Structure 1
Amino acid sequence: MQQIVLLACLAAVAVAAPQQFVNDFDQPEIRRPIAILRDERTDNGDGNFNYLFEAENGIFMNAVGTPGSKGQSNIQGSYRFPLPDGTIAEVRYFADENGYVAESPLIPTPHPLPAHAIEQIRIAEEQRAQGITFQ
């Protein structure tokens, strides 16, 4: 019986000890609870809803949804979170019958076309307008 009590006490101490983990930058940190500042949710049951969440560590998310014309939900919202350098990343998005579109300076974009490529496209459009075709 004493062994079981001793084992239970050791397990309780192990669970209560501060937990350490290694993040992406190999810096040990101590986990602690993060306070939820706001958590507001409204669902009207007809496809209309609102959602807003904010935590003390800078994480924020909101979304507004309405019924779509083709049975889908149309959703518009944003989320943001802190980056390791202390800046805040933000993404704005919307989704409807045409799909999902996200906008953020963090999302990679294709390189601009070089001037000669733009000129070739312009020439091809002129030729197409003149009825010129190539086989």
Structure 2
Amino acid sequence: MKSVIIALACLAAAAVASPQFGLPQQQQFLQNPPVAILRDERQDQGNGEFAYTFEADNGISESRRGFVGSLGQSNMEGSYRFPLPDGSFAEVRYVADENGFRAESPFIPTPHPLPAHAIEQIRIAEEQRARGIRFD
């Protein structure tokens, strides 16, 4: 009798833990409705030059242009934008070329400024290096 009760308890636990279908999925669909693509344009010249523009009805967009760099690499510049929870939008502009990847946006964190004593120590160290002073 004890094993029957344990088996029924395990069966009940499995039923409660199983994924729920129906209403919860419908609620999830209503919270995250499908996104319509408003614009999707792509151009590829086949020689490293290209252009790409994408825009969705939820405010997400991206625009990118590629071109051949001075060393034969593919350079890119562009921007992307997405909505924030408060209803505003974040936009990031970027360049990727011979000098690396550089992004600009007020939403990208920046390091804290160095304290005055650290700046003074760096200045002293540069002065010592210029005079040929080396520390081991």
Q: TM-score, normalised by structure 1?
A: 0.73
* Counterpart position of 1:48: 49
Please, which moves more after superposition, 59-68 or 104-113?
104-113
* Counterpart position of 2:81: 80
Letter in 2 for 1:133: R
- When the two chains are superposed, the root-mean-square deviation of aligned CA atoms in Å is 2.4
Deviations 1:39-85 (A, max 9, x none): 11111111111011111211110000012233421010100100111
Determine the C-alpha separation between the residues in 2 that align with 1:106 and 1:29. Answer: 29
Q: 1:11-30, aligned counterparts within 5 Å?
A: 19-21=26-28, 29-30=30-31
Identical-pair percentage: 68
Q: Which of 1 and 2 has greater Rg?
A: 2
Q: If each structure's helix is expressed as a fraction of its own residues, which one has the higher value?
A: 2
Q: Could you tell me whether the CA contact under 8 Å between 1:61 and 1:78 is conserved in 2?
A: yes
Letter in 1 for 2:132: G
Determine the C-alpha separation between the residues in 2 that align with 1:41 and 1:125. Answer: 50
Structure 1 stretches (4+) deviating beyond 4 angstroms? none
Deviation at 1:29, TM superposition (A): 4.5
Determine the C-alpha separation between the residues in 2 that align with 1:74 and 1:20. Answer: 44
Q: Could you tell me whether the CA contact under 8 Å between 1:18 and 1:31 is conserved in 2?
A: no
Partner SS, residue 96 of structure 2: strand
In structure 2, the CA distance between the partners of 1:19 and 1:44, relative to structure 1 (3 Å rule), is farther
Q: Name stretches of at least 5 consecutive residues in structure 2 with no aligned partner.
A: 1-20
Determine the C-alpha separation between the residues in 2 that align with 1:30 and 1:18. Answer: 10
Matched, 1:33 2:40: no
Partner SS, residue 65 of structure 2: strand
Q: TM-score, normalised by structure 2?
A: 0.72
Determine the C-alpha separation between the residues in 2 that align with 1:29 and 1:117. Answer: 54
Determine the C-alpha separation between the residues in 1 that align with 2:30 and 2:121. Answer: 55
Q: If each structure's strand is expressed as a fraction of its own residues, which one has the higher value?
A: 1
Aligned length: 115
